[in-house]
Chains A and B, each alone.
Chain A
Amino acid sequence: MKRVVITGAGTVNALGLNVPDTLEAMREGRCGIGALKFRDVERLAIQIGAQVHEFDETAHFNRQQLSLYDRFTQFTLIAAREALAQAGLEFSGELAARSGVVLGNSGGGMTTLDENYRSVYEEGKNRVHPFVVPKLMNNAAASHVSMEFNLKGPSFTVSTACASSNHAMSQAFQMVHGGLAPVMITGGSESMLCFGGVKAWEGLRVMSKDACRPFSANRNGMVQGEGAGVFVFEEYEHARKRGAEMLAEVVGFAMTSDASDIVMPSKNGAARAIAGALHDAKLNPQDVGYINAHGTGTAANDKTECAAVADVFGAHADRLMISSTKSMHGHCIGGTGAIELLACIMALRDGVIAPTIGYEEPDPECALDVVPNEAREARVEVALSNAFAFGGLNAVLALRRV
């Protein structure tokens, strides 16, 4: 089997419009959550989120492109440009024919849907722009990345709610690992911070009105974010021969299904995914130094996740570090695993563990080292990234320092 390394990373999220700014914000424990700004926000019970401000789409795209790119596609393309510029790859001939793009996404072009529903239902218009469908489809971002970078191999979109990005990156890993593709562009994006998007989440009564405080006893729900994370997964020898910088190695993954409840998480399903990733990567539990938690800040997730980690790691659970960066960039749904992978890369490459900010009170049901409030320096050999989605679909990735 082929070894797989990450040779490029890109992002847009509430913490920064690129990777260096995002990592700096994570190191400083900065919070990207604030007052939401969009039409009709005053009609929402939940008015906070990790929204991407100071983003000028017209600086990146022309009018014709903007008529086809929903916000989630815009984020994806900007992140992909950053990742590919870092990797220094151009695709032509055989490399183009075999390389592809697999991205995670949950809501598709939610802003496009929202605006057009508003126009036909609320404003009574009987005509919509001709590109509504190609703009809102979930695969739009993956398709535009394939077009912009000439990727002609396997390309598609994976949709598993909050685990979409991790499932997508697992697929990309598998393709390079198995020799199907020399390079895969992967990650995910989401942009559902619009009236209809937040209104739908509000209905579920799991959202916090004030802050995201994962693992803290006084946590009171999740806070939604938006953004994209895109990576270049490359076959090790291919990367080595061209002298590419390797950010981290992807060494394994596992996917499991709880097969129990549409929203309530299961300790067993999560534990099987974590243990499965270790097994796939041929790692011992003691090898793991850091876990980027799913850590949504809901009562149910955080205690279930901590119990699953305790089950898998036994005594070592008290020695590893586990943090939730959702406290800073919010829950970016289908893009969240990709943005969180940046924290794993920072832990492995830079030896800096991103904190769980907003942590105020210990919870006996989450009695692990959650790296509260301040980043920490530590040498980490192996990191895991957890994602446990609504629908009981779990995906865990294992990364190693290079």
Chain B
Amino acid sequence: MSVTDRVIRIIAEQAMIEPSDVALTDTMQDLGIDSMGLVECIFALEEEFDITVPFNANEPQASDFDISSVETVVAGVERLVARQKD
């Protein structure tokens, strides 16, 4: 399963919808994921990929991890996974 598919599976589970209903351009808000749900998503991504996501719930925008849409999250995870392999 690709990184994109794995990220979508985690986000879909959090949003309690089918992975096929998640579009790459969707925002967390579009998917009905609130701030608590987002923190749970990030935890699940860390567990799935064994990465540490630099995310502070106090200033989500200032974090070096773009959560503005599903595709930015995928890109962020890919970058962290690549960095981990270095």
Q: In this assembly, does A129 line the interface, its C-beta being within 8 Å of a C-beta of chain B?
A: yes
| B64 on interface, CB distance cutoff 8 Å | no
Most buried by A among B16, B36, B47: B36
Q: Are B40 and A127 in contact (CB under 8 A)?
A: no
> By the criterion CB–CB under 8 Å, are A130 and B40 in contact?
yes
Q: How far is it, in angstroms, between the C-alpha of A131 and the C-alpha of B39 when the chains are bound?
A: 9
Per the bound structure, the CA–CA distance linking A345 and B39 in Å amounts to 45
In the complex, what residues of B have CB within 8 A of residue A129's CB? 40, 43
Look across to chain B and name the residue whose beta carbon is closest to the beta carbon of A127. B46
Tell me the B6-51 residues at the A interface (CB within 8 Å).
16, 36, 39-40, 42-43, 46-47
**Cα distance, A64 to B36, chains bound together (Å):** 10
Q: A67 CA to B40 CA in the complex, in Å? A: 10
Name the residue among A67, A127, A130, A131 with the largest chain B CB count within 10 angstroms: A130
Q: Within the assembled complex, what's the spacing in Å between the Cα atoms of A108 and B46?
A: 28
Considering the chains assembled together, what is the distance between the CA atoms of A131 and B43 in angstroms?
10
Residues from chain A with Cβ under 8 Å of B16 in the complex: 64
Q: Shortest beta-carbon distance, A240 to chain B, in Å?
A: 42
CB distance from B56 to the nearest CB of A (A): 12
B23 to chain A, nearest CB (A): 22
Nearest-Cβ distance from residue A64 to partner chain B, whole angstroms? 8
A67 to B16: give the CA distance in the assembly, Å: 14
B-contacting residues, A96-155, CB 8 Å? 127, 129-131
**B47, A127: Cβ atoms closer than 8 Å:** yes
Chain A residues near B43 (CB, 8 Å)? 127, 129-130
Question: Which residues on the A side are within 8 Å of B40 (C-beta)?
Answer: 67, 129-131
A1-B43 Cα distance, complex, nearest whole Å: 52
Q: Which residues of A contact B36 (CB under 8 A)?
A: 130-131
Tell me the bound Cα distance from A76 to B43 in angstroms.
28
Closest to B46 in A: A127
Point out the residues of chain B lying under 8 angstroms from A131, CB to CB: 36, 40
From 41 to 79 in chain B, residues with beta carbon under 8 angstroms from any chain A beta carbon are: 42-43, 46-47
Q: What residues of B have a CB within 8 angstroms of the CB of A130 in the complex?
A: 36, 39-40, 42-43
* Bound-state Cα–Cα, A130 to B57, Å: 11
CB distance from B6 to the nearest CB of A (A): 17
| CB-based nearest A residue for B42 | A130
Interface positions of A from 20 to 70, Cβ below 8 Å from B: 64, 67
Nearest Cβ on chain B to A73's Cβ, whole angstroms = 16
Chain A's nearest CB lies how many Å from the CB of B77?
Answer: 15
Q: Nearest Cβ in chain A — how far from B16, in angstroms?
A: 8
Shortest beta-carbon distance, A333 to chain B, in Å?
30
CA–CA, A51 and B50, complex, Å: 37
In the docked arrangement, what's the CA distance between A131 and B47, Å?
A: 15
> How long is the Cα–Cα vector from A42 to B47 in the complex, in angstroms?
30
Chain B residues within 8 Å of A64, by CB: 16
Bound-complex Cα distance A164 to B40 (A):
33
Contacts of B46 in A (CB 8 A): 127
**In whole angstroms, how far apart are the Cα atoms of A131 and B41 in the complex?**
12
Q: Chain B residues with Cβ under 8 A from A67's Cβ?
A: 40
CA distance A127 to B49 in the complex (A): 13
CA distance A37 to B43 in the complex (A): 30
Give A61 Cβ to nearest chain B Cβ, in Å. Answer: 14
CB-nearest residue of chain B relative to A126? Answer: B52
Distance A64 CA – B16 CA, assembled complex (angstroms): 10
Q: How far is the CB of B39 from chain A (nearest CB, A)?
A: 4
* Least CB distance, A295 to chain B, in whole angstroms: 43
- Where the two chains meet, the residues of A that have a C-beta atom closer than 8 Å to any C-beta of B are 64, 67, 127, 129-131
| 5 tightest A-B CB contacts, nearest first | A130-B39, A130-B43, A130-B40, A127-B46, A129-B43
Q: With A64-B16, A129-B40 given, can you name 12 additional A-B contacts, CB distance below 8 Å?
A: A67-B40, A127-B43, A127-B46, A127-B47, A129-B43, A130-B36, A130-B39, A130-B40, A130-B42, A130-B43, A131-B36, A131-B40
A sample of 9 inter-chain contacts (CB < 8 A) reads: A64-B16, A67-B40, A127-B43, A127-B46, A127-B47, A130-B39, A130-B40, A130-B42, A131-B36
